[in-house]
């Protein structure tokens, strides 16, 4: 909302907020009205708990929803851990993709010319499924590519002189081009690793949410030959995540974003941010802009909308189908992350050279195969595909273990969306 208010090219727009929680709707609507008023943006607002009503007349649909919220996500993690899968599995992605497909099919029917901007995870598998099953105009967005700014900061580089290309899959992108003032900056990274990295890790008191320069990221770089960016170090290989002690070795004292320590801190931070927004919305004694200063944030959503609406050319990091292909070595019906030029004529992906063979066979192809299992399971409704996904998991010690998790997960009352497309395996 703040980004809309500071973008004069989009002043006067109408925004519909949709949520299943009426109190949240009331709170965010109040905040938005006050923010628009303070910044003279002339925005108007509607709130609704009816998704189909929200879509009527839409030019852009922004999906940021986690179906069931963090409580359900944590419950699903607990079910998986009971069956021996530490920190959970990707099974919850199946329900999330089923939700994405419902939204996309509603868009096809109600506002077929709208752009769908998908910012809820899983962007990679979810956007691939929607692009294969529907005809919506689709853009997947993430902010992991900002990880290159962390590298620049640690190396002491001025961000304005850094240029980079980071293609791949969402949460699985790699620094194929890294220039500083037009010169290859990889030698600067190598020098830092050689002379400063150990001290950096020894005195590591950074947030668990910052994994860009942790030991795991550097090990991935040394293993595959290119620096992983953003959320890629988080994911990495299973060997960084076998237990908490292993996570702490590779990601610092808290074990990184996805450990039981780091994730608990993330959930607390989410609650704190909600409380901050509520307080700002309701406190009439001070301007909203005291909490949300009148300057553009780091997200790409509003700038992309502005480029499309007002024909303002811009280059963005996006997730779109691999038409061309944009990233050689993968099918055109797979969504890839790359740079794209956006203007009034639409979105135009910028092709990149093929990735190094070692990276392809060691990291990219295995990640693609995992995604294909999740997408196929969600789109086909075949529970055997979900079972095969679990059987390929390194933590699976036998067929009964995988079947036990899948059956309990599918039978859960909150999994009605998946139950409609799956038949519980007996």
Please tell me the predicted confidence (pLDDT) of residue 425.
41
pLDDT, position 49: 97
Q: Which of 231, 254, 258, 393 is catalytic?
A: 231
| Percentage of residues in the chain having pLDDT higher than 70 | 99
Is 403's pLDDT higher than 60? yes
* Antiparallel, parallel or unpaired: β 137-140 and 115-118: parallel
Tokens of 244: 């908490």
- Quote the pLDDT of residue 119: 97
Residue 116, both tokens: 């769908």
Q: Is 292 or 183 the better-scoring residue by pLDDT?
A: 183
Helices 260-282 & 69-82, crossing angle to 10 degrees?
Answer: 170
Mean pLDDT computed over 358-376: 98
Among 57, 45, 41, residue whose Cα is nearest residue 19: 45
Q: Which two tokens stand for residue 100?
A: 């994405």
Q: What is the pLDDT of residue 17?
A: 97
Is 11 noted as a catalytic residue in this protein?
Answer: no
pLDDT band at 208 (very low <50, low <70, confident <90, very high): confident
Q: What's the whole-number mean pLDDT along residues 81-92? A: 97
Q: Residue 423 has what pLDDT? A: 64
Residues 381-393: what's their mean pLDDT? 95
Predicted pLDDT of residue 29: 93
- At residue 32, the pLDDT reads 94
Cα distance between residue 91 and residue 409, in whole Å: 8
Task: Examine the residue annotation and report whether 143 is marked as an active-site residue of this protein.
Answer: yes
pLDDT tens-digit series, residues 329-354: 999 999 999 999 999 999 999 999 99
pLDDT number for residue 419: 81
pLDDT digits (tens, 9 = 90+) for 214-252: 999 999 999 999 999 999 999 889 999 999 999 999 999
pLDDT at 426 > cutoff 50: no
Least reliable range by pLDDT among 76-80, 121-125, 269-273, 319-323: 269-273
Residue pair 393/378 in contact by the 8 Å Cβ criterion: no
| 2-143+293-349 under CATH 3.90.1820.10, yes or no | yes
Whether 391 contacts 413, CB under 8 Å:
no
State the average pLDDT for the chain: 95
Given a contact cutoff of 8 angstroms between Cβ atoms, the answer to whether 369 and 404 are in contact is no
Active-site position among 11, 143, 219, 412: 143
Distances (CA, A) of 274 to 17, 71, 76, 114: 16, 15, 23, 29
Domain ranges of the chain: 2-143+293-349, 144-258
Helices (H), 316-364: 357-359
Grade residue 422 by pLDDT with cuts at 50, 70 and 90: confident
| pLDDT score of 424 more than 50 | no
């Amino acid at each position: 909302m703040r980004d809309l208010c500071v973008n004069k090219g989009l002043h006067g727009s109408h925004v519909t907020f949709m949520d299943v929680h009426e109190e949240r709707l009331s709170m965010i609507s109040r905040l938005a009205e006050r923010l628009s008023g303070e910044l003279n943006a002339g925005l108007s607002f509607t709130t609704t708990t009816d998704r189909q009503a929200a879509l009527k007349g839409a030019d852009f649909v922004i999906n940021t929803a986690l179906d069931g919220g963090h409580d359900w996500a944590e419950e699903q993690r607990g079910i998986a851990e009971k069956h021996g899968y530490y920190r959970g599995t990707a099974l919850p992605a199946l329900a999330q993709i089923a939700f994405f497909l419902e939204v996309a099919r509603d868009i096809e029917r109600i506002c077929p010319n709208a752009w769908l901007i998908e910012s809820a995870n899983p962007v990679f598998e979810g956007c691939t499924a929607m692009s294969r099953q529907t005809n919506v105009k689709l853009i997947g967005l993430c902010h992991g590519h900002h990880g290159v700014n962390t590298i620049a900061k640690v190396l002491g580089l001025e961000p304005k002189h850094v240029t980079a290309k980071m293609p791949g899959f969402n949460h699985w992108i790699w620094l194929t081009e890294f220039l500083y003032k037009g010169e290859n900056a990889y030698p600067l990274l190598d020098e830092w690793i050689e002379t400063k990295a150990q001290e950096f890790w020894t005195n590591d008191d950074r947030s668990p949410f910052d994994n860009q320069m942790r030991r795991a990221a550097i090990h991935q770089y040394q293993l595959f030959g290119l620096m992983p960016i953003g959320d890629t170090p988080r994911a990495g290989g299973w060997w960084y995540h076998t237990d908490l002690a292993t996570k702490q070795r590779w990601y610092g004292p808290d074990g990184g974003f996805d450990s039981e320590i780091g994730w608990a801190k993330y959930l607390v931070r989410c609650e704190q941010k909600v409380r901050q927004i509520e307080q700002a919305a309701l406190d009439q004694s001070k301007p909203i802009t005291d909490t949300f200063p009148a300057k553009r944030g780091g997200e790409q959503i509003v700038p992309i909308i502005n480029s499309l609406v007002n024909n303002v050319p811009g280059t963005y990091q996006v997730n779109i189908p691999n038409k061309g292909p944009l990233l050689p070595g993968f099918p055109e019906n797979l969504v890839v992350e790359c740079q794209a030029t956006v203007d009034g004529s639409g979105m135009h992906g910028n092709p990149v050279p093929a990735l190094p063979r070692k990276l392809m066979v060691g990291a990219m192809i295995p990640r693609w195969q995992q995604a294909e299992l999740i997408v196929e399971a969600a789109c086909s409704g075949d529970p055997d595909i979900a079972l095969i996904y679990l059987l390929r998991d390194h933590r699976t010690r036998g067929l009964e273990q995988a079947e036990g998790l899948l059956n309990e997960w599918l039978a859960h009352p909150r999994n009605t969306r998946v139950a409609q497309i799956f038949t519980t395996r007996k």
